[in-house]
Each structure stands twice: as structure tokens, then as C-alpha cells.
Chain A
Amino acid sequence: MPSYTAPLTDMRFVLHEVLKIQNYANIPGFADATPDTIDAILEGGAQIMQEVMQPLNQIGDREGCKWNNGEVTTPAGFKEAYKAYCEGGWPGLTADPEYGGQGLPHVIGIALSEMMCSANLAFGMYPGLSHGAYEALHAYGTPEQKAMYLPKLVSGEWTGTMNLTEPHCGTDLGLMRTKAEPQADGSYKITGTKIFISAGEHDLAPNIIHLVLAKIPGGPPGIKGVSLFVVPKFLVNADGSLGARNGVSCGSLEHKMGIHGNATAVLNYDGATGWLVGEPHKGMRAMFVMMNAARLGVGIQGLGIAEVAYQNAATYAKDRLQMRSISGTKFPDKPADPIIVHPDIRRMLLSIRAFAEGGRALGLWAGLMVDLARKHPDDEQKKINDDMLALLMPVVKAYFTDYGYESATMAQQVLGGHGYIAEWGMEQFVRDARITMIYEGANGVQALDLVGRKMPEGFGRLLRRFFHLVSGYIQDNMMDPDIGREFVQPLAKAFARLQTATGFIAEASLKNPDEAGAASMDYLRIFALTAIAFMWAQMAKTAAEKIKSGGGVAGKDFYETKIAVGRFFVDRMLPDTASHLAKLQAGAKSMMALDAANF
């Protein structure tokens, strides 16, 4: 059975020593988040994740959710776990105090999310979706809607969902058919079928608040005519008590590859009563507000899986005795050397770890950007962070989930045959990780978003936020005695490739828009590797300082190990930027040459 220990030291290192979030006390919510408070929260979170959530992960996978005549039963133990989660106040950790939340920084929420995803990805999606619904209502709901729904979403008493997908309409929401007919009392009657609704029906909470995209008849065609509605499973009386059952029912649950513990529902809306959220036909605007945070959340899922898979594979590699080291016996007292002595085992383990640690730093930095984009007192800073977040989100979502899945299979590989056996838990990580590459915008769509929307925005304004930062960092640290040669110069090379790739796409796509699409995934990976290298350079610099100065969140050993893992990233992962650039510069020609009929 797999195990999980939350990487608290590493989280504290990133939060306190690299991002130095204690320097942001001028941002609302940060003043309360002293290092001590944060550490206590992280420890509390680690405890519930390790002791309550993680043990349910395999059970949830094995049992799955059960559908019976419209009712859904979650796996054994989920209900109790959810109760404990709510009692601990975890659903409202970063939520608005006005609605009962604790108002802590989003960046802390990201750390908790990672732990949840490592411990029990399927379970984590119930509160995760609630938070999405909370965000949409908080940003666009009327005061009445907020008063009615937010406190109960924040406390976890009720859960929420997001309803976008329909049988014929996934990425292209303009094709949507679900309709919302206006009623005399100002409400709407919602009719249609929504599929793939995570946490769409379950027994964890007495009410479920569905946020549903639908079209008001007579509105503009396509994506411009989509509106957002709030549709509770049970109508809510004026006093807050539950009223009549609304006209939304769960038609079935999907049978799927992974995340069995989460209920992926088909929801049938049959004249269900709903209320408009935000302006008519502006539903996508509300969606986009949440999209950045939601995509960051999914990226963190990839990271969480990588971390837990690494931990179990590393443990196994130190225990499993097979063969001798090719450079000579390392453990003569044992019948064979543990497989950790083998370079290729190390290659796999270090790849996962270098990604996980670099990704953690990037993910937490992005979490900090969410806070700054929303709460910074200076509008200019708000905009800069919002731009940066918008730019990095497709990168984080796609790269973290691609590499999260890659990590799970590498970890599985370390276990050899046992990795393929359910009992060891590794194959569940592979299966669970697979969905993260698909939902919340398939990774190919993320790459298109990056080159097609984010890159040209404001003639590269979003790019500026990242490029100027990295360019300035390189200039300032190129000659740094600790990191200049080992970290900053390789970063500079990768960054130059990123610039070259950016220029190539900007120019080539003017002549042929397919060039942008053909280049998009390689571009996204160059971007991600450069961004992670940027984080590694900062981490290495901090570690080197701590080694010299002493003190810090951990001992010297931690910082030396940190630098060593960073060197692996720079030596063995960052050079992929060169091959991605070469592929990208080869252009779209060979990709587009084949006639559709020849496939």
C-alpha cells in the first residue's frame, strides 16, 4: 500500500525563503499569515491529508461511486472524511471572511491543494469544484445570491459544480444547446443535458449548487450567446432552509479510467429553475475569471501525483534488492544492491523530483500571483500579476499535467512488475493522472491558448511580464559566484531559445496560421522548462546563501540536496529546450502535408 508524507520542509522553503511571502504584509490577508501561522496550517493540513484522505485513496478507487435511481453513494469513508474536512474549516481557508472564510492567501491554498492531490485526487475534487462555484458567485453573483449560497459553500455544508460540457460540445462551447427560458418572476427554466460533471451528484452534502452555462433563446449565436445560471439541487427558502427538489437529476455516472472516487455525472435539466449570474450572454466572461485559478488547480493535480509517486518509487528503490551496481558492489552485506544504485533508476527518480520541486516553486509563485492580481493595492501591480498569471496558466496546466502523468509512469517503471499490480498503488496514480491532461481544457488547447491568445495579446504585453523579469534576473545574476555558471548561464541559453521560438512563431504565423498551431506544444514546453529553470536558479541561490549563512527552514543537508537536484534539472532536463526548438523551427509543413483522407 502506498504512503504519503507531505513535503512540508520544501513548502516552507519556497514560501518563506524563496517567495518570501512575509514581505507582502501590505496585501489583505497576508498580514495574518505569519510564518508561524503558515507552518501551523501546513502541519494541520498535512495531518488530515496523511491520516484521513490518503488511506481512503485506494478504497475510493476500488469501490467507486454507485448510482441508484438518481441517487449517488460515495465510497465508504468519504462522508466521514468530508465531515472532518469541513469541521477543520478547510473549505473556507482562502475564502472571503465576509462569508465565513478565513481570508488566507491563495498561495497557502495551493500548498494545501498539492497535499490533497497527492493524498486523494478523487476526493479532492469535491471541495475543489465547490471552490470553483464559490469563485464564480463571489465575482458575479447578486448580493442576494451571495448571501444565499456563499456562506454554505464556504463552510462546506453545501457543495458546488460547474456545468459546461454537453454530449456534442466540449472545447467548442459555442455549439451549446441547453436553453434557459426567462420566466415572469425573473428566474429561468433550464432544459438540457450536461455531461462529465465532476461531483455532479453525491451523498456528502444535503444540497449541491450547480453553475450552469446555457443559452437564452433569441440571444447572439455561438459563444457570444452563452449565459451563466445558478441552479441548486434543492430550491432554497427565504430562511435558508431547503425547499422543493429542483428539476435537475443525475441520469447516470460515467465508467472511467481513473478518479473512481469522484462522481462524474450526467445531469439532466428538465425545466429546472435557475437564476442568471452576471449579465445575459456574458457567461464566458464569468468563466474566464475562474479559469486561471481552476487551471492552476488542475496543474497542481499533476504536481501532487508526481510528488506522491516519487515518494513511493524512491522508497521502493531503496528497499528493492536486485543485481549489483555496474561500477562495483555498493552494499556487500546484502544479497544484492538496492536498485537505487542504478543510473537509470536515478534518472527516473531525479526527473520526477526535479520537476516536482521546480514545479512546486512555480505553482506557489503562480498562487501568489492570484493573490496579487486580486488584492494588490496598486492597480498597475494588479494588472502586471493578472497578465503574468494569464500567460503562465496554460503553461502550468499543460506542462504540470503532462509531466505529472509522465512522472507517474516513470515511478511505476521503477517498481517493475509490481508497478503494474493494483496493490502497490502505482497504476492508480497513472490512471488518476491521465484525466488531468484532458479536462479543464485539453493540453493541446492550452498550447493553442498560449500561442494564439496569450502571445499576441497587446503585441506581447503578457510576455513582457515574464520576459523582462527573467531577462533582468539573468543580467543581474550572470556573474553570481554561486549560481552564475551552473544555473544562470544555462537559464540564459534556454531563455534565448524561448525568445527565438517566440520570434519564429510571431513571424511564421503571420504567413501561415497553422505554423502557430504546429509550434504550440513545443513552444509551451520550452516555456515551461525555462520557467522552471528560473525557479531553480532562485532556489539554488537561496540554498547557497543558507549554506553560507546557516539557519533556515532546514539543515545544511537539505540545501545541499536542493542544489544537487537543481543541477540534475539543468544538466538533464533543461537541454530539451534545444530539441523542442529544432522541432518547432522545422515548421508545419510535414505536419500538414498529408491529406485528411490519407490518415
Chain B
Amino acid sequence: MDVQTPQLHFEPGEREPELIHFRAKSRDWASCLFTGLTGLATWLILGMLGVILVNILVNGWTGLSWRFIISNSDQDMFDVNKAGVLPMIVGTAARVILMTLFVIPVGVTTAIYLTEYARTTSLLTRIIRGAVNNLAGVPSIVFGLFGLGFFILFVGGLMDRSVLGGGPEPRWGKPAILWASLTLAVMTLPVVIVATEESLKAIPQGLREASLALGATKLQTILQIVLPQAMPGIMTGGILSVSRAAGEVAPILFTGAAYYMASYPKALTDQFMDLGYHVFILSTQSPNIEQTRPILYATVVVLLLLTFALNFVAILIRTRMRKQMRALH
């Protein structure tokens, strides 16, 4: 077989080195303009965020106090000096945590199925993926109606008619923190699934092959090798879902949020008060909007703080996980 010898001979003088002309010949206007625009966009976003935060703080400053945070609104929720949001804090936190308990296992398991087990070309896989994608685009109010129709009326009704029911009053077939959390779980499922899938895909195939070649079953490989590696990514999914769910009001509107509860939610069947919902109440039900405005904005501040706090805890956990994985070095 003949090999073509590459002809790489330059005659002297044929090609001159052009190393001396490094200085730019003209200003690059396009680059400058682009840099300017992106800088402007960044400042715009920061500016808007700043305006919102400042607006909230300025308006809610008078309503915020330590007493506000730790007391309840049994006396008068519309009076600046008597209102308190502790029950709402508890309610929001409780429903978010309960949601996490539902969404993480289901989301992670689905992601594992899609990544590790499903054949990419099968019809079932495509249906599942389509469903997940569509779920992400559904408006939150629709989730609220879904929660009411499916969880409360259908499932709850079924449970009431079965052994679990008790007495003439519906026990399960009514708004409750359980149903609100489940509704939120369904809503944030796509986020967890996608985040988990991404972190699973990021794990090199070589690790799985190494494990299988040693005689591990697929399940052992997933549980002992793949999943531990994917934990930070799963945590990210959790953080994202918490962030979204903490501030959502529409899904809990019909499924469990209450205008007023005398006590904290103790059972799964109890209703709860909620920060976001409370903002809605204050703005629509208040007898004196001027008086109530500080309370309203203060509630928003508390909601933001709670979201940050929940995120912060989750990020702390994730950072510790990452450090542990790196600490083995």
C-alpha cells in the first residue's frame, strides 16, 4: 500500500514569518459593544432585584419586630401591634418539609429508572419524558385544582369511605397539610427529576462498568456506587424544589391553607396557615389597607427570610457532602 508522503518543503523566501505584527490594527468595536450590553443587562437585573428588596424592606420595616415573628395572630391579624406570623412560619416550613419527603424519593427513583434502566427508544420512556416535560409547564393554579379534585375529593373520599374513615365528618376528604404537600410535590417533581438525571449522567460510565465487571448486580451498582456520587446533584434538585415551593400560593389555595387556625398543624389531616397565603389575605381582606401595609410587607420579608434559611440549610448539607467526597483525597 502506497503511503503519500506529505510535501512540506518551503522554498526560501516563500513564506515569511509574521511574528512582529502583534499590535491590533484597528479597534474592535463589536467586542466593546457586546461587553457593554452584557454589563448593562447584569446591572439591570441587579437593579431590579435591588428595587424590589428595597421596596419591601422600606414598607415592611415598621411592621417587623421580634415579637412579630414569634407570636401569633389570635388577637387581631390586621393590627400592627398585635399581629404575629409564627403559625404561618410553622405552616410554611412544615408543608415544605413534608413536600420534600414525598418529592425526593419519587423524583430520584423516576430519574434512576429513566437513566439507568429504561431503553432510550422505547415508547414507555418517551411517554414518561413527555409527561415530565409537560408537567413542568403546567400553571400553578391548575395544580391547585388538581389537588382539590384528585387528592381531596377522589383519594380522600375513597379513604373516608374505607376503613380509614371515621364518623360522619369527612376525615381525609378535606383540605389538609398532607394534600397540600402532595400537590406541591407533584408540581416540583420535574425539577427534582431533571436535576437528578443530570447528576446521574455526569457520572462516568466507567464506574458502572467497573462495578458490574466485579460481579455486582445493577441494583448494587446503583445503590453503592452511582447514587452516593449523585447526592450533591440530588440535593441541588431538592434546593430548587424548596425554593419554588416555599413561595407558591395557588397550589395550596384549595388544598390546605387556612385563613385562620387556632392551633398549629399536629396531624396530617390538619389545615395550616401559610406566609404566602397570609399576604393574599392581608391584601384582599383587610379593613384598612394603610394600616395593614406594614404587616403585609413584613410578612413578605419573613417569607423571603424563611426561603433563604431553608435554602441555606440545604446548601450547607450539600457543601458538607461535597467536602466529604473531596476529603478522601
**Do the two chains belong together in a single complex?**
no
Spell out B's residues near A (CB within 8 Å). none
